[in-house]
Amino acid sequence: MNKNTKVLALKYRPQTFDDLIGQNVVAETIKNSIKFNKVPNAYLFTGIRGVGKTTIARIVAKALNCSNGVDKICKDDFCENCKSISNSNHIDVLEMDAASKTGVDDVRDLIEFSRYGPTSAKYKIFIIDEVHMLSKQAFNALLKTLEEPPEYLKFIFATTEIKKIPITVVSRCQRFDLSRIRSVELFEFIKMIKTKENGLVSDDALKLIVKISEGSVRDALSLLDRALLTLSNKEELDLNSAQKIFGYFDKSQLIDLFQLIFEGKEIEVLNTYKKIYDQGVEPKIFINDFLELLYYFKNINSLSIEGTNFSLNDEEFKKIKEISEMVDSETLILFWQFTIKTLDELDIVSNQHLSMEMFLIRLMHLKNIKNKTEYNIQTPYENNKINNQTSLQKKKESEELFKIKDKTEAIGQIKNIAQEKDITLKEKNEIKANESNINSFDDLLELCSVKKEIKLKYELEKNVNLVSFENKRIEISFNDDLDKNFIKDLSLKLYDWTNERWIITLSKTKGKPSKKEEQVNLKKELVKKVKDSLIHKNFLKKFPDAILIDVQSNKKEK
């Protein structure tokens, strides 16, 4: 196959350790192991797609079998072994796809083939890609050979899901975790390839490719291939064109949208979103980019331009920093929670475009609420009022952010309803507290029955020994069968029922017998008493084989 007709991901596949990018530590470790003749029985490479697992596996196979040695692996003029390995047709290097050959019979054939020494190379090597796809029986069949293979046999495994491989297999391999390729390295790499291919692509467009690829070299080269095929002979691919090709939109539009939201300009917000939507951006992609920008607004002071993974240019970075200084962190966190919730709504509403418009409108109304307590956002431990600072204002100012009459009236209505709910909730809590007076252990058991907390009542009766019970304090001991979450569950329920904190202490003192033990002891005493009675003795004279099993009281409750 002519090399020029290959896709970029195959055409520029690394052939030696020196060609690798982003995996310098892994390459150096493997080279040293081969130099000092300390080659492990098996290599295991794991990482996300496109970081070089299969590529490194082939380079290791060439390094072990190259006629020139590991320091001078063939790069241009291949020896016979390197040429055959590169073309995947070497008789002693078997490359197997575990996704299509998952069964134990395939592994048995592999083991049978391994009994014969290499034909023309120094080592016989088995490269198994996506090894996690092998069945449990196949892994078990491989274990013995993997632990003590012949000196001429080496295994090289590659996987994207290391957790699916049995630990017994992992422990027999020398494991290498391949990291994502750093943005700067990946940018320089595809820029070099762009130059070699005589492509006209701007740096901003290349940075967008790096961002979309998420550290995968193969993804980056595939996107670059697609971009170069879209171009005319003398036309440069700029950022705007790249965004249209890959379905991304300009971040500056989203920053402008944020600013309009904070300023409460509803018509401008909807018009800006419609422009973004007309570019073909899907609502879920828009939401994800919205969340990403929220993250930058919240953490921009601790980030650098390089740390944003080419998501922002200098101008956008500066603009976000300026706006973030006048936006309250609590507002951004509230926006984040609200946006996450909107993701679920997208699967319910048939017209997602309308759902997104309502999402943006609701954000503007949410921003105008100055006090979180108006929405009843309180924890059991905090009842103090927290002022929600308005955005795009200094914290000392207290004027409304939006000077729109109908909106403020709507917020006032929300406030009144929320306050009424708050009053109703307090009344219910007072009633609940009065009804839930717990003065003894028996009161607690009875309340568990009323509240239908059967599991909690079971633990209290069977596995808890009471030491003391007084003044919102319970001291207990317990047996080995007590549920591990019992203390936490009991504390939460007591707080919920009484609106007061209870202290639950674990004691080394044995304490009273549990309720179940009391019942059993009481039953034993009653049986013993009946056995000692004259009636029972007279009964045994007439029926000597009779056995007293149980006794029930015949007393009627008054």
In the chain, the percentage of residues whose pLDDT exceeds 90 is 11
Q: Residue written as tokens 């390839």?
A: 193
Q: Give the angle subtended at the CA of 299 by the CAs of 320 and 377, to the nearest 5°.
A: 105
Ranges of H-type helices in 384-479:
405-435, 441-450, 454-462
What is the model's pLDDT at position 337? 87
Highest mean pLDDT among 88-102, 411-425, 434-448: 88-102
Closest alpha carbon to 270 in 257, 282, 288: 257
Its pTM stands at: 0.57
Residues with Cβ within 8 Å of residue 152, at least 6 apart in sequence: 117, 118, 122, 123, 124
- Tracing tokens 């820029």 back to the chain, one arrives at 191
At residue 332, does pLDDT exceed 70? Answer: yes
* Residue of higher predicted confidence among 247 and 7: 7
- Angle (CA) 33-36-38 rounded to 5° is 50
CA distance 248 to 243: 4
**Contacts of 175 by beta carbon, 8 Å cutoff, 6+ apart:** 44, 46, 162
In this prediction, residue 405 carries a pLDDT of 41
What integer pLDDT is reported at residue 413 of this predicted model?
A: 43
- Sign of torsion, CA 87 92 98 100? positive
**Residue 540: per-residue pLDDT:** 80
What is the tally of helices (H) and strands (E) in the chain?
23, 8
- Report which DSSP code applies to 302: G
pLDDT digits (tens, 9 = 90+) for 256-288: 888 888 888 888 888 888 888 877 778 888 888
Per-residue pLDDT, 514: 82
Q: Which of 56-60, 314-318, 433-437 has the highest mean pLDDT?
A: 56-60
List of residues 6+ apart from 272 with CB closer than 8 A: 253, 256, 257, 260
> Do residues 54 and 217 touch, judged by C-beta distance below 8 A?
no
* pLDDT at site 414: 43
* Stretch 525-545: mean pLDDT: 81
Sheet holding 93-97, edge to edge: 93-97, 124-129, 153-159, 42-46, 174-177
Residue with tokens 């999402």: 359
- Domains of the chain, CATH where assigned: 3-177 (3.40.50.300), 183-246 (1.10.8.60), 252-375 (1.20.272.10), 441-512 (3.30.300), 521-558 (no CATH)
Q: Model confidence over 14-42: pLDDT tens digits? A: 888 888 888 889 999 998 888 888 889 89
Name the residue type at position 352.
Q
The answer to whether 140 and 146 are in contact (CB under 8 A) is: no
Q: How far apart are CA 23 and CA 63, in angstroms?
A: 16
pLDDT above 90: residue 298: no
pLDDT at 319: 82
Range from 112-126, 148-162, 243-257 that averages highest in pLDDT = 148-162
What mean pLDDT do residues 457-465 have?
A: 84
Distance of alpha carbon 93 from alpha carbon 75, whole angstroms:
19
| Average pLDDT of the chain, as a whole number | 78
* Euclidean distance between CA atoms 99 and 342, whole angstroms: 37
Q: Which of these ranges, 3-7, 61-65, 274-278, 346-350, has the smallest mean pLDDT?
A: 3-7
* CA dihedral of 134, 138, 139, 144, whole degrees rounded to 10: -150
pLDDT tier, 558 (very low <50, low <70, confident <90, very high otherwise): very low
Tell me which amino acid residue 94 is: L
| Residue the block writes with tokens 């120094």 | 122
User: What 3-state class would DSSP assign to 534?
Assistant: helix
Per residue in 488-519, pLDDT (tens digit) is 888 888 888 888 888 888 887 777 888 888 87
pLDDT in tens, 157-174: 999 999 999 999 999 999
Is the pLDDT assigned to residue 59 strictly greater than 50? yes
**CA-based end-to-end distance of the chain:** 100
Mean pLDDT of 424-452: 68
Percent of the chain with pLDDT over 70: 82
Give residue 91's pLDDT: 86
**Residue among 59, 72, 70, 82 nearest 32 (CA):** 70
